[in-house]
Amino acid sequence: MGKTGRKNKNYSAEFKIGVIMDMREHHLGYKETVRKYWESSKGKEPNYMKQVQRWERIFLEEGTEGFMKERRGRACSGGGTRKGRPPKLDKKVEEDLIAENQRLRMEIEYIKKLSALVLADERKNGKRRS
């Protein structure tokens, strides 16, 4: 977390692309890139290095379009792609699922009762299942 009262710096997509392209063209390491673009970052190199590493990973995985995406917030737990609350099911679909669930529960209860009756009948008549 950042310090209270201090706002995080937002960098434009063009700046991020420029930093990564310059780093790759001139074969610069993370530390040299940080020194070049953040000259007054005395003692803050690790923070900026992580940021440049993150930008390079985004660039390698998604290309320049990756810098145009909004990345704040938590991703959806299911696929990890959508952010925010998952959309609600349609009312009709939800009712169908509830009805199917009830039908399946009734079927399971019916099978249990039938199995218990068959077992009781076998015990009564002294028969064994083969």
Task: Tally the C-alpha atoms within 13 A of residue 44's C-alpha that lie toward its C-beta.
Answer: 10
> C-alpha angle 3/4/6, rounded to 5°?
75
Q: Rounded to 5 degrees, what are φ and ψ at 6?
A: -115, 125
Q: What is the C-alpha to C-alpha distance for residues 127 and 130, in angstroms, rounded to an integer?
A: 9
The better pLDDT of the pair 109, 48 is held by: 109
pLDDT value of residue 101? 96
Rounded to two decimals, what is the model's pTM? Answer: 0.50
Q: Rounded to 5 degrees, what are φ and ψ at 83?
A: -110, 155
pLDDT value of residue 79? 58
- The residues, ordered by sequence, that sit 6+ positions from 69 with a Cβ below 8 Å of its Cβ are 62
- The residues, ordered by sequence, that sit 6+ positions from 120 with a Cβ below 8 Å of its Cβ are none
Confidence of residue 99 (pLDDT cuts 50, 70, 90): very high
Q: What percent of the chain has pLDDT over 90?
A: 31
Confidence of residue 90 (pLDDT cuts 50, 70, 90): confident
| Most confident stretch, 56-65, 72-81, 93-102 | 93-102
| Most confident stretch, 7-16, 69-78, 79-88, 116-125 | 116-125
Burial-class residue 8 by CB neighbours within 10 Å (0-12, 13-18, 19+). Answer: exposed
